[in-house]
A and B are shown apart, each in its own frame.
Chain A
Amino acid sequence: LRQGLGRLRALLDRHVVGHDEAKGALLLALVCREHIYLEGPPGSAKTRMAEVAARGSSLGFFFYQMHRDTRLSELVGDVVLERRALADGEGERIHQTIEPGGILTAEICVLDDVSRAPGEALNVLLRILNERKFGDRPIPLLTAIATSNPLRDEYYNEPLDPANLDRFAIQLRVAGLIQSGDRSLARALVDQFADGRVVEQPEPEAVLGRADLDALHAALARIDVPAAEKDRLIEFLRRLVVDYDCDETNSLLTDRSFLVKAVKLLRGSALLAGRERVEREDLAVLHLMTTFRVPEEVHEKVPELIEEIIA
């Protein structure tokens, strides 16, 4: 079962140097069928990773570059105006419908530079992501990968509003290898390009099929979550709220994310590690949930907090 995932990981490693955490998070998102949000400065391989992960999994793929004028219709298909004569022959009925396309028909999508789209416009898109249905129609989407630049004035972007950010269960920051000062990785990256190994490989081959993903998803549901780990999850939340003063004004500790999706991610972490039950070390995935949901200084202490709870 995990061979497919291994192949996808190898594909990611072949195309992108470093970024261990982000690659792991992408696999986790695919396995759990959750959405993921990557934020990082320009040129830090966010889009590249998203694309490789998406294309490597042979799913119906949709890529959209967000821009300032992004409108819903560009994402969901074509607007169709339908005219029908009225029965009495003295007029017509005009009906506006949408011919599904874009994210309505994709299984995996990459939404690039998501914060460039106007904040209000995103809401409906992210609602579709969240509910995985459009109107009354369920959509086949499994995972959406969104990327964004950090909020700085020079990028002309707008922050996602808090409710929207919550739709992405997994969230993380990505830093460029050169910027983060990792000499050996930066060297490896330079080597790769200098040797011409990554000349343009625009279409990474698909290494993971829909059947593999379905099997993984079925396995996910079978993973046991012992009561002790549920208690630890609650303890983690209690500590954030009580000891670190996370409340509605500064954090986004929603029931949907931390009582429903968190359990799924714990299972996903166990599955990726090849286990049939959640163990205490799986709690480390909670760090991928708090990135933009608690104040920055609290997020920095989350690994420490998880260590304490595990101990």
Chain B
Amino acid sequence: VALSEGKRQSAGVVDPSLLSLARALRDALDPVLVAHGDGKTGLVLALLAREHAYLEGPPGCGKSALALAFARIAGARLMQASFHRDTSAVELLGSPRLRRQRRGNAERLAFELMPGPLATAEVLLLDDLSRAPGEALAPLLRILSERRAAGAALPLETAIATAGAADLESYADPLEPSQLDRFAVQIRMRGLVSGRRFERARTLLDRDGEPPLHAVLDTDQRHALQRAVAALTIEPAARAALLRAVERLRAAAGDEPALLSDRAFARAAPGILKAHAFLRGAERVEAIDVRALRFMLARRVPESLEPHVAAILEDALLEGAPVPAPPPSTRPAAAGESGRAADSPVPVPGLETVPAPIEGIAPQARARGDDDAASVENLIQALLGRLERGAVARGEDPGGQPRGWRRMRRLDELLDADPVDALLYAQGRSTAPRVYRRERRNAGGTLAVLRDVSASMEGRLSRWAGQVVAGLVRTGARRRMRMGYVEFNHEAERFEAGGAFFHRRYRRLLALASRRRAEGRTNYEAPLRSALAELRGTAGRERHVVLLTDGVPLLGDPSVRHERALARELGVKVHTVFLGLGECPEVLDEISRETRGSGFAARPRPDGRVTVIERATGPRSARGRSEQSGGEH
């Protein structure tokens, strides 16, 4: 203890009054919002490290409230931008300036942006970031990382973005990885009710009105804090631990997409680690500060990995520990330096990492589920390729997202025009101004999914079938297809939502896809009849049925003659997928061929994966063509 205190005084690295300021900031957040400790600590780390933060969570869980309170308590000048479909770069960046210079009988027109509110903001709140069209975001995010605009340095310290969780039924496009990566701190927040934290929810009910907010810092103090944090040194052991941690995260993520970029982990992470060490009261960054990485991971590692992140980080710490590994319960403490207790006399809320069990680390725990997903991935891809073929992804629509520019066609579009162009046009100085070219995905088509749940469809086969259905639902959601779902064995069970067979309640379909049941015997006729009867009442060219089965029909008409004829008459494509070890029944190929659908057979391999064969059903093959014409007679 004496040694570490002596060092602190001589180096003068940590000023105790600064430390208490930083902790006061963190503590002042507690009365504002019930729970959400990670969100609060994450924002403090971001501000100390001068990094940007991203808060993701369901609507109404307090994301914006937290960010607003944080800016107030930190005493920072706040600019708040709410994003929506029509957000344009101009709105965020400032007013356009038109410069006219006469040179003889020529006139030079130059156009630049005068920094708007961004020029003064110290904390920038980007509300509902994912709702803005990419075109508006690109220049903004560039400015965020450069912290310069119109040739001048910005006073910006931290930008806090909020976004809803990716949701199938929401209209917002998810943020792209390149956009997300600019936010070093990433936190996922959950609601108290949906997160089943009823006791905390009850304490929220007892709160009467909003607690008053007072600034605990001012700009000079924040800058002093940020300088002190940046001045901390990082021990070699901590650098090694950081690399080990990232390496382990990469390995645990496996093939799933992870965003482990150099920008985040080489450039931003050291700053976050320093902030963590500072808040802990340490005078340099030690290996245990690698735990701060958990505040950076919400959208950087696959969601399935999230419950295991703490354990993975502990594991990385443990590997570099100088002493032989003691029993699990004391590992986290032993992983730190011996001086840790002295360095951190006051426990800081939100910083103490829950010692996670070392057993049952991610890869093993997730192995089975992953395999399933990987095994049927090819099948899903091939099937979706067939469904999507020929469908135009986007069409121009006045209510869509701006996706570029075009010339104005009608006068009422002037409202949607580039302001400078519109002005020049109004002055008679230019031809038709540029307006946004708005596009939206075609709300394309109708898809009925018929899933065999007969007794033989059990275990792995049932899981695969569920994966295929889930893949179809995700594609359907992307294209905003109307979908219907039937489970069948000897009889067909239709699942309706909102009183309609075809609907867009994708989340409900996903829930159905994950159900497992296996009973009864197979009958193709009943489900096809049921789906085609529904399709008869719909219009449109893109109408598909996907029939998922593992066996030959034992009940009903095994050759489903009526249904094939009806599908042809309606122009409905029936795609068939045979899952299982046996022979693919001929009738499936015939159904696909006659209705111009595609046919697949997926066969399990001994290694647990699956081989996918596309059956020759298309009119491309000579055999297919001859049999198809035969079938029509």
Question: Taking beta carbons and an 8 Å cutoff, which residues of A are in contact with B?
Answer: 68-73, 79, 81, 83, 86, 90-96, 117-121, 123-124, 127, 136, 150-153, 158-159, 161-163, 166, 225, 227, 230-231, 233-234, 237-238, 241-242, 246-260, 263, 295-296
Q: What residue in chain A is nearest B91 (Cβ atoms)?
A: A96
B99 touches A249 (CB 8 A): no
The 6 closest A-B pairs by CB, nearest first: A256-B60, A118-B399, A254-B60, A124-B84, A91-B99, A120-B85
On whether the beta carbons of A90 and B100 are closer than 8 Å, the reply is yes
A90 pairs with B191, CB closer than 8 A: no
Task: Return B534 CB to nearest CB of chain A, in Å.
Answer: 12
Given contacts A163-B170, A253-B194, contact A93 B95 (CB under 8 A): yes
Q: Which residues from A are CB-within-8-Å of B61?
A: 254-256
Inter-chain contacts of A72 with B (CB < 8 A): 84, 86
Give the residues in chain A near B193, CB-CB below 8 Å: 237, 241, 253-255, 258-259
Beta-carbon contact of B511 and A259 below 8 Å: no
Complex CA–CA separation, A259 to B205 (angstroms):
6
Indicate if the CB atoms of B202 and A234 lie closer than 8 Å: yes
- A94 engages B419 (CB within 8 Å): yes
By a CB distance below 8 angstroms, the chain B residues around A71 are 86, 415-416
Q: Whole-angstrom distance between the alpha carbons of A250 and B506 in the complex?
A: 10
The B525-566 residues at the A interface (CB cut-off 8 A) are: 538
Nearest residue (CB) in B for A151 is: B498
Q: Please, how many angstroms separate the alpha-carbon atoms of A83 and B422 in the complex?
A: 12
Q: Which residues of B contact A136 (CB under 8 A)?
A: 80
Which of B58, B86, B504 contacts A124, CB < 8 Å? B86
Cβ 8 A contact of B194, one of A69, A70, A247: A247
Known: A96-B90, A234-B202. A152 touches B99 (CB 8 A): no
Q: State the CA gap A234–B197 with chains docked (Å).
A: 10
In the complex, 30 of the A-B residue pairs with CB atoms within 8 angstroms, ordered by the A residue number, are A71-B415, A90-B100, A90-B101, A91-B97, A93-B114, A94-B97, A94-B98, A94-B420, A96-B91, A118-B397, A120-B85, A120-B131, A120-B400, A121-B84, A121-B85, A121-B86, A127-B84, A150-B498, A162-B170, A227-B206, A234-B201, A241-B193, A241-B194, A247-B194, A248-B190, A249-B510, A253-B193, A255-B204, A257-B60, A259-B204
Interface residue from B82, B423, B507 paired with A83 (Cβ < 8 Å): B423
Q: What residues of A have a CB within 8 angstroms of the CB of B91 in the complex? A: 96
> For B86, what are the chain A residues with a Cβ–Cβ distance below 8 Å?
71-72, 121, 124
Of B170, B206, B498, B538, the contact of A161 (CB 8 Å cutoff): B170
Question: By the criterion CB–CB under 8 Å, are A296 and B497 in contact?
Answer: yes
How far, in angstroms, from A166 to B98 measured CA to CA in the complex? 43
What 1/0 mask marks residues of chain B from 492 to 526 whose CB sits below 8 Å from any chain A CB?
00000110101110011011000000000000000
How far is A159 from B498 in the complex, measured between Cα atoms in Å?
12
Chain A, residue nearest B420 (CB) = A94
Q: Is B82 in contact with A252, judged by CB distance below 8 angstroms? A: no
* Besides A96-B91, A233-B205, 16 other A-B contacts (C-beta < 8 A): A73-B415, A94-B95, A94-B96, A120-B401, A161-B171, A234-B205, A237-B201, A241-B194, A241-B196, A247-B194, A249-B510, A250-B508, A253-B193, A254-B194, A255-B201, A256-B62
A35 and B86 alpha carbons, distance in the complex (Å): 24
Q: Which residues of A contact B397 (CB under 8 A)?
A: 118
A263 to B84, CA, bound (A): 30
Q: Which of B62, B399, B504, B507 contacts A117 (CB 8 A)?
A: B399
Within 8 Å CB of A257, what residues of B?
60
CB distance from A299 to the nearest CB of B (A): 11
Check A248–B201 contact: CB distance below 8 A: no
Question: Is B440's CB within 8 Å of the partner chain A?
Answer: yes
- Which of A119, A237, A254 is the one whose CB lies under 8 Å from B198? A237
Give, as a whole number of angstroms, the nearest-CB distance from A177 to chain B.
19
Residue of A nearest to B502 (CB): A153
In whole Å, how far is A271's beta carbon from the nearest beta carbon of chain B? 17
A127 touches B423 (CB 8 A): no
Contacts A94-B423, A253-B191, A259-B204; A242 near B196 (Cβ below 8 A) = yes
A120 touching B172 by the CB < 8 A rule? yes
Chain A contacts for B504, CB-based, 8 A? 151, 159
Residue of B nearest to A116 (CB): B399
Chain B positions 59-90 with a Cβ under 8 Å from a chain A Cβ: 59-62, 80, 82, 84-86, 90
- Assess whether B398 is interfacial by the CB under 8 Å rule: yes
Tell me how far the C-beta of A257 lies from the nearest C-beta in chain B, rounded to whole angstroms. Answer: 6
B527 CB to nearest chain A CB (Å): 22
Residues in A with CB closer than 8 Å to B419 are 81, 94, 96
Measured in the bound complex, the distance between the Cα atoms of B194 and A268 in whole Å is 25
